[in-house]
Structure 1
Amino acid sequence: MSAGADGRTSLTRAEAEVRAGAVSVQSVEVALDLTDEAGPTFGSRSVIRFSSTASETFVDFAGEELTAAVLNGRPLDLAAWSRARIPLTGLQADNVLEVEGRMGYSSDGEGLHRHVDPADGRTYLYAMSFLDAAPRWYACFDQPDLKTRCTFDVTAPVGWTVLGNGPAEVLEPGRWRIVSAHPLSTYFTTLVAGPYASVHGEHDGIPLGLHVRASLRAELEAQAPDMLAVTAASFDYYHRLFGIRYPFGEYHQAFVPDFNAGAMENPGCVTFRDSYVPRGRITHAEQGTRAGTIAHEMAHQWFGDLVTMRWWDDLWLNESFAEYLAHRCCTEATPYALWTEFGIARKDWGSVADQSPSTHPVAGNEAPDAAAALQNFDGISYAKGAAVLRQLATYVGDDVFLDGLRDHISSHAYGNATFADLVGSWTRAGAQDLPAWAQAWLRTSGMDTLDVEHADAGVRLVATPSEGSPVRPHTVQVGVVDEALALTVLDPVTVGGEPSPVVPVAGPAVLVTPDATDVAWAKVRFGPDGWERVAAALPTLQDETASVAIWNAVRDAVRDADLDPRAALDLVATSLPQQRSEVVWDSVLAFARTQLAGVYAPVGERAGRAARVREVAWRLVDGAAPRSDRQLVSFRQAVRLETDPDRLAAWFDGTDLPPGLGLDPELVWSVVERWCALGTGTGLLDQALARDPSASGQVHAARARAARPDAEAKAAAWRLLVEPSPAGAYELYATGDGFWTAGQEELTTPYVARYFAEIGGTARFREGWALGQVATQAFPRTAATPEALQAADAALRTDLAAQVRRAVVDGTDKIRRAVASLARWP
């Protein structure tokens, strides 16, 4: 018997290449004993059959206790286990490795996560193996290019639901066996086990299942028809698109608690965060977002699971394609047209990442190890990559683009591939000059700027590259708003070469926008007097797509200190009520509330600007039809801006609400969180927890406690963030979210320096996703001061874990931009 491994070593690319060159894995058989629901550990035994051309290698095992390790019948020295690796020496051509130990249940959403639902006290398990978490629940060769067939033999309480990467066969009461139909990479192996509530269906011969913890059974049953319909439509779409049927047998979608990502594409058993099964009203836009995630994970069954990247620097081959194809799929095959959501939400997320000091190319990042690769799991790999693929489809033609994808999938099915392989497929399909295009778009970082110069014959489009990058080719459609305030979208034109194209414009133009169809990946500007022109045109602009591109330009210009935040707030007040999309309403109102009235406002002006945003929110509420999505979306923002605790208390009691609006559980908690942020009492909080002691209620309560303007409450919240705690990851994230509440700067200012001094120490007791996410949520986002920047820069000169460093770099860039804006627009 040997004690737990002392820390973990992240697998390097060089080590992975050596191991993949020497080792071929025939099978992995894992036996799990999950019968002890309350204990801290569970039993795990792996039998790995593999061949080797080398005499030595290592296997990954991140358990709490190693009890046995036998190689070809020879016991190994258990004391050699260190840093989550077991060295293997004396290898033969064909080998059998047996590893047995005790693995720790996790509370951070990685490995085998255990959640006890406060609503009924029942235990729910799920496994998350991405990015390098598989060894936290079974011994394996953990890298994406060592695919193998997997068998999981599971012993668990009788009556549980057990799901995985293949059909679960009941061997006897309390024992299941799951056998994968095809070779799997370790990072998308999974197990879902517990007393889950289920809805089953079938489409085109494929058994379907939806699963959630039992306390959300009613919500699942009410929303299952929509989810099953989206799943069916997506299967039909991808079968047509790829020309290969879904190959992994049954298709389960499990909505699990405390999930860090939006979802994970495990073949045959996709896991989602359970907030996709909301406890109250769900708007059409939120159904669309969920549909997009369902379609995204389904696209992965081909792009990622059937054909898998060889190493993590090709992560974009998974995420960019799934992001792009999901938006195509939903728009073309479901009731949810998602390109507006992509433009106003996803592209903005990606553009912030692409302009941060942590920016990186979409492809070819040469991630030296798995831990470094995890830091590139961001808006660049998702949104920018998808936007670039949208440009590529235009550049090579849709038929060539799709023919290349089909060739790539069929050529590398059940194996691994690289970007070079994909370029070869597109070239065979007829694409030309792809290496030059890929170099410009995929192997450089940053954003060009598209601007207009008014010329005699019309307008000249000007593309300015980001620092250190070449100008990229942009194929865009110019939009012209004439004196009658009507929009005309012109034919496509390519900008980025020399000379800059002149676009003819018939008659005087109030506004010329370089990207009226929102397909460019670029910062957009409107000429030397562009913001005055935007102010004249935007209030009456009815074209949703063109307005999305303009709102993104507004947000970007504020962050670049090119636009006075007060002028941006004027645009929100005059123009947002005329916009038709509640997705745009929600996104722009959130920006106005958190940025224009928050970090981009002097502290003394924040309350006044928030009052203006609140007035806009109420105009939207009052102008919306009762019981409409627009009414609900606007009221949610109004609650977050309310300054009268008595009015909040009345809403909590169900009185004085807008006509036709009722409070669902999530909206109740929004009221409670805002009420707590305005005073030091706990009355509504205590009542809300008594009504709703669920897991979601506990998370909301953590946010509400952290938001209280009380020194003792802040101190307690701070201890949760920077000291070891039994609190779950979601409660920690909510605590960080609530801590830096606007209007409490006098109370939180002493914690700014403490954050930069103390956050690095959290790497001693947190790891993986939770380490970076807590550091991100706890960042002092309201502290736009030179002193905060000095403290941040000092912290960045110290040795920080990669996840913490990324959080500090990105957070510091945001407040640095706010400080620059405040200096220019005091």
Structure 2
Amino acid sequence: MSAGADGRTSLTRTEAEARAAALSVDSVEVALDLTDPSLPTFGSRAVIRFSSSVDATFVDFAGDELVSATLNGRPLDLGSWRRARIPLTGLGADNVLEVEGRMGYSSDGEGLHRHVDPADGRTYLYAMSFLDAAPRWFACFDQPDLKARCTFEVEAPEHWTVLGNGPSETLGPGRWRIVAPHPLSTYFTTLVAGPYASVHGEHDGIPLGLHIRASLRSELEAQAEDMLAVTAASFDYYHRLFGIRYPFGEYHQAFVPDFNAGAMENPGCVTFRDSYVPRGRITHAEQGTRAGTIAHEMAHQWFGDLVTMRWWDDLWLNESFAEYLAHRCCTEATPYALWTEFGIARKDWGSVADQSPSTHPVAGNAAPDAAAALQNFDGISYAKGAAVLRQLATYVGDEVFLAGLRDHISGHAYGNATFADLVGSWTRAGAQDLPSWAQAWLRTSGMDTLDVEHADEGVRLVATPPPGQPVRPHTVQVGLVDEAGAVTVLDPVTVGTDPAVVPVAGPAVLVTPDATDVAWAKLRFGPDGWERVAAALPGLTDETASVGIWNAVRDAVRDAGLDPRRALALVESSLPAQRSEVVWDSVLTFARTQLAATYAPVEERAARARRVRAVAWTLVDGAQPASDRQLVAFRQAVRLETDPSRLRAWFDGSALPSGLALDPELVWAVVERWCALQTGTGLLEEALSRDPSASGQVHAARARAARPDPEAKAAAWRLLVEPSTAGAYELYATGDGFWAVGQEELTQAYVPRWFAEIGRTARFREGWALGQVATQSFPRTAATPEALRLADSALRGDLAAQMRRAVVDGTDKLRRAVASLDRWA
């Protein structure tokens, strides 16, 4: 018997390549003892059969206790277990390794996560193995290119549901066997176990299941019809698109608590964060977002699961394709057209990442180890990659694009592949000059700027690259906005090193370089462009063109190229005329969190927030009662309310606009805002007594951290920087609430403490939670030169990779705000 490993070593690419060259893993059989989930640990026994061409290697094991380990019947030295690795020596051509240990349940959403539902005291488990968390619940060779046939035998309370990467067979009371139908990479192995509530269905011979904890049964049942319809439509779409049927048997979708990502594409058993099944009213746009995630994870069943990257620098091969195909699938095959959401939300997320010092190419990042690869799991890998693929489909033609995908998947099914393999497939399908295209778009970073110059012959479209980068070719359609707000979309033109001249017949109030929102570039509108935007945007009727303009407004503010006061005036004059509630929500969030906060002098923040609140109420008052638009705008108005008594009335269900009714999430939005305005806790305690659910506990954590009370701030601070038993979601919410706008004087003393102390949390946190807590708790309201000095000093120190990325990105946002405040003072 041996004590726990002293920390973990991140697998390097060099180690992975050597191990993949030497080993072939035939099968992994895992036995789990979950019979008493109240214990801090559970039993895990793995039997791995593999062949080897070398004498020595290592297996990954990140348990709390190594009970036994034998190789080909020979006991191994338990004391050799170090840094989550067990050395293996004296290997034969064919080997059997048996590793038994006690593994710790997690509370950070990785490994085998345990959640006790406060609503009813029931325990729920799920396994998250991405990116390198599989060894936290069973011993394995943990890298994507060592696929193996997997069998899981599970002992658990007999009334539980037990699901995994294949059909779940009941062996007897409290005993299940799950056999995956095809070889799996370790990072997408999973287990879902507990007294889950379920809705079952079937489509095209594929058994379907939706699962959630029992306290959310009614919400699941109310929303299951929509989710099953999207699932069925997505299956039909991908079967047509890929020409290969779904290969993993049953298809379960489990909505689990405390999930870090949006979802995870485990073959046969996809896990989602349970907020996708909201408590209360769900808007059409929110249903569309959920549909996009369902379609995204299903796309992975082919692109990622059936064919898997060899190493993490090709992570984009998973995420960019799933992002692009999901938006395409939903728009073409479901009631949810998602390209507006992609433009206003996803592209903005990616463009912020692509302009940060942490930017990186879409492909070919040569991640030296798994920990570094996790830092590239961002808006570039998702949104930028998807936008570039959308351009590629136009560049090579849809027929060639899809033929190449089919060739790639059929040629590498059940194995691993690289980007070079995919380029070969597209080339065989008829694509020309892909290496130069890939070099320009996939192996460079940053964003070009597309601007217009008015000339006698029409409009000159000019592309300017970021410093040190070549200009990429952009094929776009220029749009002319007339006095009535109508848009004339011109024929496609390509602009690159040389400007493109676009003939223009007749006057235009505004010329936009990308009227169809397909470019990956920053848009500008000429030397008098913002005057032209101010004249055209209030009457603009074309939703797609307006998305590009709003993105340009946000981007110019961040570049200190547009006075935030002027941007706020644009929001006031133009947002009420926009028809999309997705645009409303995104632009109001920008105005509330940046124009009236980070990009405003402290003394102006309250006044600017009142102006944003007035816009929100204009939208509420102008919306049809009980409409999605009314609800979206009211949610924003709640976050901007300054009168505690009015919030109290809403909490009691009175004085609400006609057509609106409280649901649990709206109640908590009211409570969180009430707590941010005063030191009392009465409303918070009352809300918790009504709603002691897991979601209620998370909202309560955010509300407590937001209270303008020194003791409340001190308590929240301890949660952020000291070890605790709090769940990851409560920590994230605490970080969200801590730096409330309007409390700058109260939180000022914590700014230097954050930069001095947050790095030390790597001593007791790891993985996703380590970086996410730092991201959520970054002192975003402290846009001062002194905060920048502290941030730069912290970055010169020793920070864990996940922590460094959070500090780099947060510092860049502060630096941009400080530059803007300085320029527009």
Give distance in 2, aligned partners of 1:538 and 1:587. 16
**Shift of residue 508 of structure 1?**
1.3
Counterpart in the other structure of 2:516: 517
Counterpart in the other structure of 1:385: 385
Counterpart in the other structure of 1:178: 178
Give distance in 2, aligned partners of 1:117 and 1:504. 64
**Shift of residue 485 of structure 1?**
3.3
**Shift of residue 36 of structure 1?**
1.1
| Map 1:534-573 → 2, pairs under 5 A | 534-573=533-572
Match of 1:491, SS state, is: coil
Counterpart in the other structure of 1:668: 667
Indicate conservation of the 8 Å contact 2:485/2:541, yes or no. Answer: no
What TM-score does the superposition give when structure 2 sets the normalisation length? Answer: 1.00
Indicate conservation of the 8 Å contact 2:675/2:706, yes or no. Answer: yes
**Equivalent AA in structure 1 for residue 619 of structure 2:** L
Counterpart in the other structure of 1:38: 38
Match of 2:259, SS state, is: coil
Match of 1:516, SS state, is: coil
Cα deviation code 1:702-747 (max 9, x no counterpart):
0000000000000000000000010000000000000000000000
Give distance in 2, aligned partners of 1:232 and 1:147. 28
**Shift of residue 486 of structure 1?**
2.2
Counterpart in the other structure of 1:167: 167
Give distance in 1, aligned partners of 2:223 and 2:571. 34
| Map 1:167-566 → 2, pairs under 5 A | 167-498=167-498, 500-566=499-565
**Equivalent AA in structure 2 for residue 115 of structure 1:** H
Give distance in 2, aligned partners of 1:502 and 1:64. 66
Cα deviation code 1:228-274 (max 9, x no counterpart):
00000000000000000000000000000000000000000000000
**Shift of residue 599 of structure 1?**
0.5
Counterpart in the other structure of 1:77: 77
Give distance in 2, aligned partners of 1:20 and 1:31. 25
**Shift of residue 467 of structure 1?**
1.4
**Shift of residue 484 of structure 1?**
3.9
Give distance in 1, aligned partners of 2:399 and 2:669. 48
Give distance in 2, aligned partners of 1:191 and 1:377. 23
Counterpart in the other structure of 1:580: 579
**Shift of residue 212 of structure 1?**
0.1
Match of 2:648, SS state, is: helix
Structure 1 moving runs of 4+ over 3 Å: none
Counterpart in the other structure of 1:140: 140
Cα deviation code 1:425-481 (max 9, x no counterpart):
000000001000000000000000000000101100000011111100101000001
| Map 1:606-625 → 2, pairs under 5 A | 606-625=605-624
Match of 2:783, SS state, is: coil
Match of 1:462, SS state, is: strand
Residue 692 (structure 1) aligned with residue 691 (structure 2): yes
**Shift of residue 22 of structure 1?**
0.3
| Map 1:784-823 → 2, pairs under 5 A | 784-823=783-822
Counterpart in the other structure of 1:824: 823
Give distance in 1, aligned partners of 2:546 and 2:295. 26
Give distance in 2, aligned partners of 1:86 and 1:426. 42
Give distance in 2, aligned partners of 1:483 and 1:257. 51
Give distance in 1, aligned partners of 2:685 and 2:100. 46
| Map 1:18-97 → 2, pairs under 5 A | 18-97=18-97
Cα deviation code 1:353-396 (max 9, x no counterpart):
00000000000000000000000000000000000000101111
Give distance in 2, aligned partners of 1:757 and 1:746. 19
Give distance in 2, aligned partners of 1:528 and 1:715. 50
Give distance in 1, aligned partners of 2:319 and 2:193. 27
Unaligned runs of 5+ in 1: none
Using the TM superposition, name which of 815-824 and 481-490 deviates more.
481-490
Give distance in 1, aligned partners of 2:309 and 2:797. 34
Cα deviation code 1:103-130 (max 9, x no counterpart):
0000000000000000000000000000
Cα deviation code 1:618-665 (max 9, x no counterpart):
000000011100000000000000000000000000000000100100
Residue 717 (structure 1) aligned with residue 711 (structure 2): no
Indicate conservation of the 8 Å contact 2:354/2:446, yes or no. Answer: yes
Counterpart in the other structure of 1:594: 593
Cα deviation code 1:282-330 (max 9, x no counterpart):
0000000000000000000000000000000000000000000000000
Give distance in 1, aligned partners of 2:770 and 2:485. 50
Cα deviation code 1:569-588 (max 9, x no counterpart):
00000000000000000000
Counterpart in the other structure of 2:777: 778
Give distance in 1, aligned partners of 2:322 and 2:721. 36
Counterpart in the other structure of 1:11: 11
**Equivalent AA in structure 2 for residue 664 of structure 1:** D
**Equivalent AA in structure 1 for residue 439 of structure 2:** Q
Match of 1:382, SS state, is: helix
Give distance in 1, aligned partners of 2:391 and 2:464. 18
Indicate conservation of the 8 Å contact 1:20/1:145, yes or no. Answer: yes
Unaligned runs of 5+ in 2: none
Give distance in 1, aligned partners of 2:668 and 2:117. 18
CA RMSD of aligned residues (A): 0.4
Cα deviation code 1:780-820 (max 9, x no counterpart):
00110000000000000100000111000000000100000
Indicate conservation of the 8 Å contact 2:201/2:207, yes or no. Answer: yes
Give distance in 1, aligned partners of 2:22 and 2:807. 39
Counterpart in the other structure of 1:156: 156
Match of 1:301, SS state, is: helix
Indicate conservation of the 8 Å contact 1:579/1:585, yes or no. Answer: yes
Give distance in 1, aligned partners of 2:67 and 2:685. 46
**Shift of residue 497 of structure 1?**
3.2
Give distance in 1, aligned partners of 2:636 and 2:528. 32
**Shift of residue 195 of structure 1?**
0.1
Counterpart in the other structure of 1:627: 626
Cα deviation code 1:496-516 (max 9, x no counterpart):
132x11101111111000000
Give distance in 1, aligned partners of 2:54 and 2:540. 67
Match of 2:113, SS state, is: strand
Match of 2:780, SS state, is: coil
**Equivalent AA in structure 2 for residue 211 of structure 1:** H
Give distance in 2, aligned partners of 1:282 and 1:238. 27
Indicate conservation of the 8 Å contact 2:485/2:537, yes or no. Answer: no
What TM-score does the superposition give when structure 1 sets the normalisation length? Answer: 1.00
Give distance in 2, aligned partners of 1:191 and 1:481. 54
Counterpart in the other structure of 1:680: 679
Identity over aligned pairs, percent: 88
Give distance in 1, aligned partners of 2:303 and 2:525. 38
Indicate conservation of the 8 Å contact 1:63/1:136, yes or no. Answer: yes
Indicate conservation of the 8 Å contact 2:63/2:84, yes or no. Answer: yes
Counterpart in the other structure of 2:764: 765
Cα deviation code 1:57-107 (max 9, x no counterpart):
000000000000000000000000000000000000000000000000000
**For this pair of structures, how many residues does the alignment match?**
825
Match of 1:509, SS state, is: coil
Give distance in 2, aligned partners of 1:570 and 1:163. 53
Give distance in 1, aligned partners of 2:749 and 2:385. 40
Indicate conservation of the 8 Å contact 1:483/1:508, yes or no. Answer: no
**Shift of residue 483 of structure 1?**
3.5
Indicate conservation of the 8 Å contact 1:482/1:507, yes or no. Answer: no
